[in-house]
Structure 1
Amino acid sequence: MSGTVFAIFLLLALILAGAEWSRLAGWHRPYPAVLLFVLVVVGAYFVPLSPAFWAALGILWWLVFALAMQIMPVAPNPAPAFWRRLGIALAGIPSLVPALYLALLLQAGHPAFLLWIIMIVSAGDIGAYLMGKRYGRHRLAPRISPGKTWEGLAGGLLGSAVMGTLGAFMVMGGGWERLIIGAALGLLAGLFAVAGDLGESFLKRRAGVKDSGHLLPGHGGLLDRLDSLSAGIPAFVGGLYFLGWMK
């Protein structure tokens, strides 16, 4: 896929995901918030910042968001005050923009890395589903997502670690040290992917809805598919920079 086509695809994804995020925040007409998202991306294009900056922004934001989810109420709030709606809508910028912008940069310069993180997150989702469905007994975050269990988390992290190891072998070459580091990178990205998944579940419970939208029949909205990647990609790229595997 050419860089231009992929950029258009990501911009469209940002618009649709931003619209869903805004509706979860309580905006029935999300166009102003979506326009703000697009202006941020366009501004970032003309004032380019390093991938390390976007990775750091995404990592810091998801750490803050994870803490906020522990202390904020999750009861449905269908008609929040204007400033609260605005705050939640603006929170979509650090939640979505860093990951999508980093995906664009990875596609342009390191497409193998982009495929690697997609496989890490996908393996984590599959592992969590299979392990949780078969062995899930102990709830992970009952306030936010009653269906998620510690057993599912373990299965998801195992899947992410395995794919992190396999990706290290395929992309970076053999050697036990690289394979172990690849597993650790998979675990890191997998943990943040869980935070992204829980973050979207948190917003849906606050909005009192089951799915973020109805764009994908049988799968909910676009955010339901991008939530894990939105947090996993910045953590993955940050790990690559820390290891010196990306410059």
Structure 2
Amino acid sequence: METNAHGQGLGAPIPGWEPRPWPEPVLLHGRYVAVEPLGSARYAELFAATCGDDDADLWTYRPIPRPRTLPELWMHLAAHLDDPAMVTFALVPLEGEAAGTAAGIASYMRIETGHGQVEVAGVLFGRALQRTRAATEAIHLLMRNAFDLGYRRFEWKCDSLNEPSRKAALRLGFVEEGRFRNHMVTQGRNRDTDWFSVTDDEWPAVCAAHEQWLDPANFDDAGRQRTALSVAR
């Protein structure tokens, strides 16, 4: 570790560092999913995919409970588009029962171009997207885009009680960093938040594991995986 004249430790130098560009709402096209800028043309599809009578559990850890009408969801999503600090995408699977229709959303948030960090947040997968290779590829494409832009840190955060989200982060190769206690009030309840990240030096190995898992050869004719992503990593 390098030290200064006072004997104090110094962080590693980053030669030629400059702020990174803002992540624009661009189309990210994969084998199994398209990650496209969110627009109102997809709102009705998202309502059908995530706001059914049996979908209340999808909203337990979100800022609002399940919207019961399309106008309620419309207002929720329109607020995303009106927020200059967010870049929100619709997740459109290219295969399966929901092919060609929006079945989920995800946003870039906490975008700090000066430090090269960005968070994927507000991830919502409808039933048709859950536990699919399209869902995995959607997060992979968002990560790849951020690191291709030169970001140094990609974050994932979730309610500490949201076990599926915690498992997803670890499966995707994120490193657990700790818990922020009493971090937020969500739907009138306390939220402790667990933090996860992937850094730019970790990304090449994480990316390679993702690509190995997403390779069509890793799936049988019924679309079942031959090797789990945790094994690929």
TM-score where L is the length of structure 1? 0.25
**Of the two, which has the highest radius of gyration?**
2
Which has more strand, going by share of residues? 2
Which has more helix, going by share of residues? 1
TM-score where L is the length of structure 2? 0.26
